[in-house]
């Protein structure tokens, strides 16, 4: 909202009822909407926005991707846009579309019950010619339509399948890709990449920094080719995409998934720290059908060379079962790269069990001029206690 207020675009916020008081108090143009309800009135929101003169709906959260697709299909009179948004939400459909476009993906299937996962795990390991007594190759199970690590589990033994609650089905199952996982943020206008950032994961679910090290940046040409193939396969004309990939030891690139909304772990804020431009404004610019090519080209700095330094963040998970207070480690706050944190005092003493990858308790931000120092610093945070 702050980015929109400081930009030369008129905007309106569509959010659930709970945002009403905040938006009223701060004079923010606002329409309340119940995103959970799907019925004959769903068309109302698109019709009303069209009457208000809105040009485009921009999704900010995973759960609003198909809503914006449905709205844009009405605003832009392009029914296919709704179908496209479903591809970005349903991970199984997404992987099938990627496969049809000649993009490399691992083996994947849908699971509706426990027996499906057992069969899939046995088949994968049979395919890998595992013998009796060999440790099984792990598989991954994920929610069809949740963001990031939510609902994501790595299954190493058949016994772990019993730990998955019934309400988490149906799930997407996929083979394990051992490689270097990284993410991309690509702003697209008129079907072409305008700015491509490579975000380097130090540990998935814990830490990320931008720009990437020289080692990962050396893959930029190959990564760009993959993103261009993704744009063609998913028929993307504009907007921001956030795909994740794996590079294997022999240099093959495998597609993980793609999101059509801002990434988690405050990656937009990291990009702004590193490059100086507001990534939310960048998204408004490339989504806007009235933006000119010249306007878009003038907005973005040069990739990597245009960065002032390296920005990273670490997601904190309590390492103890019982905690009483937040205590920032000296090694963290006294490091010259430390910028700030958004951790709060614990509201309860017993730390809930982490289901799957779980949700971090808050982020710690760093900024400095050396990517290797940044990488080592983020890795070192995993051994520190922030909650004691």
Task: Return the CATH number at 151.
Answer: 3.30.1490
* DSSP-assigned letter for residue 313: E
Q: Flag whether 367 is in a domain.
A: yes
Share of the chain above pLDDT 70, in %: 98
Asked if the structure places residue 94 within a domain, the reply is no
Of 87, 122, 142, the position where a domain reaches its end is: 87
| Residue pLDDT, tens place only, 220-277 | 999 999 999 999 999 999 999 999 999 988 888 999 999 999 998 899 999 999 999 9
Q: What is the pLDDT of residue 149?
A: 64
Task: Tell me what pLDDT residue 221 has.
Answer: 96
Residues 227, 233: contact at Cβ < 8 Å?
no
> 62 and 123 share a domain?
no
In a domain, 136, yes or no: yes
Q: Which residue has the tokens 């720290």?
A: 273
Evaluate whether residue 294 is within a structural domain. Answer: no
Q: Do the domain assignments include residue 208? A: no
Pairing of strands 207-210, 171-175: unpaired
195 belongs to a structural domain: no
Kindly report the pTM of this predicted structure. 0.92
- Residues 76-93 have pLDDT tens digits of 999 999 999 999 999 899
Domains of the chain: total: 3
* Boundary-marking domain end, from 87, 118, 140: 87
Residue 355: its pLDDT value, please? 59
Domain boundary among 124, 156, 175: 175
Is 49 a domain residue? yes
113 and 82 both lie in a single domain: no
Q: Is 140 part of any domain? A: yes
pLDDT surpasses 70 at 193: yes
Q: For 113-134, what is the mean pLDDT?
A: 90
Helix locations, 234-278, DSSP H: 267-275
Residues 68, 8 share a domain: yes
Quote the domain boundaries for residue 152.
108-175
Same domain for 113 and 80?
A: no
Q: What is the mean pLDDT of residues 159-173?
A: 91
Co-location of 83 and 4 in the same domain:
yes
Check: CB of residue 73 under 8 Å from CB of residue 45.
no
- Alpha carbons within 13 A on the beta-carbon side of 298: 5
Cβ contacts of 185 within 8 Å, gap of 6 or more: 196, 197, 199, 240, 241, 242, 263, 267, 268, 271, 279
* 78/156 same-domain check: no
């Amino acid at each position: 909202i702050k980015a929109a207020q400081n930009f030369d675009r008129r905007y309106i916020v569509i959010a659930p009822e709970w945002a009403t008081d905040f938006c009223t108090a701060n004079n923010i143009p606002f329409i309340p909407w119940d995103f959970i309800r799907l019925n004959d009135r769903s068309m109302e929101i698109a019709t009303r926005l069209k009457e208000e003169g809105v040009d485009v709906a921009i999704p900010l959260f995973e759960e609003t991707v198909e809503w914006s697709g449905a709205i844009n299909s009405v605003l832009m009179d392009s029914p296919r846009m709704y179908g496209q948004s479903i591809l970005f939400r349903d991970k199984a459909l997404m992987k099938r579309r990627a496969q049809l476009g000649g993009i490399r993906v691992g083996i994947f299937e849908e699971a509706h019950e426990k027996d499906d996962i057992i069969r899939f795990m046995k088949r994968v390991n049979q395919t890998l010619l595992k013998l009796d007594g060999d440790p099984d190759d792990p598989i991954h199970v994920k929610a069809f339509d949740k963001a990031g690590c939510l609902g994501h589990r790595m299954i190493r033994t058949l016994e772990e399948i019993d730990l998955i609650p019934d309400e988490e089905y149906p799930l997407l199952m996929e083979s394990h890709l051992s490689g270097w996982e990284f993410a991309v943020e690509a702003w697209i206008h008129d079907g072409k990449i305008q700015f491509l950032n490579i975000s380097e994961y130090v540990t998935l679910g814990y830490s990320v920094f931008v720009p990437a090290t020289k080692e990962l940046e050396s893959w930029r040409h190959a990564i760009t080719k993959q993103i261009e193939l993704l744009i063609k396969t998913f028929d993307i004309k504009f907007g921001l995409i956030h795909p994740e990939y794996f590079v294997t030891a022999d240099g093959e690139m495998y597609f993980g998934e793609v999101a059509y909304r801002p990434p988690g772990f405050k990656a937009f804020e990291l990009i702004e720290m590193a490059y100086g431009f507001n990534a939310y404004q960048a998204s408004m610019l490339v989504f806007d059908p009235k933006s000119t090519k010249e306007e878009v080209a003038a907005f973005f700095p040069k990739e990597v060379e245009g960065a002032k330094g390296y920005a990273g963040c670490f997601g904190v998970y309590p390492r103890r079962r019982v905690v009483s207070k937040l205590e920032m480690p000296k090694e963290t706050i006294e490091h010259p790269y430390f910028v700030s944190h958004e951790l709060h005092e614990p509201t309860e003493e017993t730390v809930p069990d982490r289901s799957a990858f779980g949700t971090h308790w808050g982020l710690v931000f760093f900024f400095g001029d050396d990517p290797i120092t940044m990488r080592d610093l983020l890795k070192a945070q995993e051994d520190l206690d922030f909650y004691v």
